Structure 1
């Protein structure tokens, strides 16, 4: 998958993302959403999902998904996309800082607030579905519900 990111300064950064790398980005996005005080304050997984769904709906309503991608004027890392190989992330003051780096050379760090996280998740999810990569955007959907544990009896 080709990731193209433009800055307000008309700079474009391009990276190839593998299926595995997209899985790592999904983990970072989900960790950021889980750290949201409105979500983490909920006592049950169902309540957490409800708050997250409400915030997702609000972010999608405000997002502009119809505007075409605008070509940039400069390419600080080069015109040819680099293969993204290292991902670092941190969550501080409600912001997710994602650092995307190739094996060698410079990378970029982008900061996402909660609304932008939801918008990026929507775009990433659509691209993953188009590519038929069978990645689950919501990692909690893969976990067993709280209170249900598989048991082995000998």
Structure 2
């Protein structure tokens, strides 16, 4: 192989290796910033055909309806706990901060946070639905029919 071709080959291989390394490092860095969306049923029963459960410490987003009568506000701090439901089991959300003005019981919300127990999420952001007609596509698909059905839950039991 002549020296000129050899230099070109090494240059092309170096560029390919550099691009591959950059893509790999970017994907590795973004891996921790991915927030997967769950409904309360998917969080408890698993998501997808393999029924994969999220791991403790995973960042995620969860959407559902706030269970009426489940909002508990601490009197001495900004801590709030409430339960979310879709068509199945309930999930407890713990939040420290001021809730949105449109937050109410019986309304759809999306919370972003970290899974701290199999059915408890410590949220760092709570978003309330702003209009009776609008609902993000992924939430509408996940909680289809909830708006017209009365959810089945028992406030006296701990889920």
TM surpasses 0.5:
no
Q: Report the structure, 1 or 2, having the larger strand content.
A: 2
Greater relative contact order (Cα 8 A, min sep 6): structure 1 or 2?
1
Larger radius of gyration: 2
Give the TM-score band, short-chain normalised.
Answer: under 0.3
